[in-house]
Amino acid sequence: MTGDAAEAAATADGPAVAGAEGTDGVVTDGTGAGAVEADGLLEVVVRRRVPVAADVVALELARIDGAPLPPFTAGSHVDLHLGPGLVRQYSLCGDPADLSAYRLGILRTVDSKGGSRRVHSRVRPGQYLLMSPPKNNFEVDSAVPRSVLFAGGIGITPLLAMARQLAADGAEFEVHHRARDRGRFAFADELAALAGEHRVSWYADDEPETVAAFDAEAIVRAAGSGAHVYVCGPRGFMDHVEEAARRAGLPEEAIHEENFANDVDYSGTPFTVVAARSGVKARVESGRTIADTLRENGVAVRTTCETGVCGTCLTRVIEGTPDHRDVFQSPAQQRTNRAITLCCSRSRTPVLVVDV
């Protein structure tokens, strides 16, 4: 996510920005002296901002002390703190070998809840922000026979980093990027240069001849046995590609997605949650979350997205069976029932004991 233009709801657990803060919640001044990390977050400065497509800007973020940023792998994302209570997840689309700065591609969305609107209207070079270290739940495997990368719109951001890694590893891969029009193919020249044009196909919705050529099932079948599919973009696009991959015979473990939006249903049968380490027992009503219920009873629970996207609140399950409603864990991980996202998931059993 989104590529990652998808907007997720957020809570503020800790400082939202570093340095001196303006009235809009974005840092406009300050040296950041003496604090490289705060509450586990990295203090970064916006080093560069460049338009890369219609309604898309690329930001380069560097450590305020000039030190290298933490290593990351293709498919990683960060939580970017854009203001008080405003935390969004964005994929890293830069070169993992260059740790002088991270690069993000951010789409201005019409229905923005504040994140992309803040970036496009107020974030400028020289401003300071807080950012989480990289997280990766969308790893690419260079050892598979062939990787097929499907991007919808700004979903190209994590796949650009994947294409760079696959090319560097000498792996077989291809990229298929679909967008509303040619003005929205972010990083197209860069992608063609690193992958070679024979590996990249572009499909514009306002060009019927290119849309007609977008047959996800045929593309996956042509990739051959052992291929893996990686998809990122709007939910409808991802569902279409994943269904096509299944029809082509790919097993679930060969289909990978990055998702920064999750429409959560918080309703369900009430149950009791037990916080084992804290010694707290509480009833979670329908429409209430485990995280909020525990916090109301004095248990510290850290959350970021509040929709099961980022994994900040992923907690070990000691007893009981979760009703998983997150998109952070893979279906295979969910089936183990070893962990639960406290911000959105519920319980299938009357009692759920968690390690918090």
Same structural domain, 193 and 124: no
Same structural domain, 197 and 153: yes
> What are the φ/ψ torsions at residue 151 (nearest 5 degrees)?
-120, 135
Q: Are the beta carbons of 185 and 154 closer than 8 angstroms?
A: no
Q: Is residue 266 part of a domain?
A: no
Local confidence band at 167 (pLDDT 50, 70, 90 cut-offs): very high
Q: Tell me, what DSSP letter sits at residue 206?
A: T
pTM comes to: 0.77
Same structural domain, 240 and 186: yes
CATH number for the domain that contains residue 246 = 3.40.50.80
Residue where a domain stops, chosen among 229, 258, 287: 258
Q: Is residue 233 part of a domain?
A: yes
Tens-digit pLDDT profile for residues 308-317: 887 889 999 9
Q: Is residue 117 part of a domain?
A: yes
CA distance 164 to 82: 28
Local confidence band at 11 (pLDDT 50, 70, 90 cut-offs): very low
Q: Is residue 141 part of a domain?
A: no
Same structural domain, 287 and 334: yes
Closest alpha carbon to 101 in 49, 31, 35? 49
- Domain of residue 178 covers 147-258
> What are the φ/ψ torsions at residue 333 (nearest 5 degrees)?
-65, -40
Higher-pLDDT residue of 93 and 3 is 93
pLDDT at 154: 94
CA distance 133 to 218: 38
Higher-pLDDT residue of 264 and 145 is 145
Please, what is the Cα angle at 28 between 23 and 32, to 5 degrees?
A: 120
CA distance 339 to 312: 12
Q: Is residue 14 part of a domain?
A: no
Across 112-236, the runs of DSSP E, i.e. the strands, are 128-131, 147-152, 173-179, 200-204, 228-232
The alpha carbon torsion through 62, 67, 71, 77 (nearest 10 deg) reads -20
Closest alpha carbon to 5 in 96, 83, 111, 82? 111
Number of folded domains that form the chain: 3
Model confidence at 6: pLDDT above 70: no
Mean pLDDT of the chain: 87
Q: Is residue 192 part of a domain?
A: yes
Same structural domain, 38 and 124: yes
Same structural domain, 56 and 157: no
Q: Is residue 51 part of a domain?
A: yes
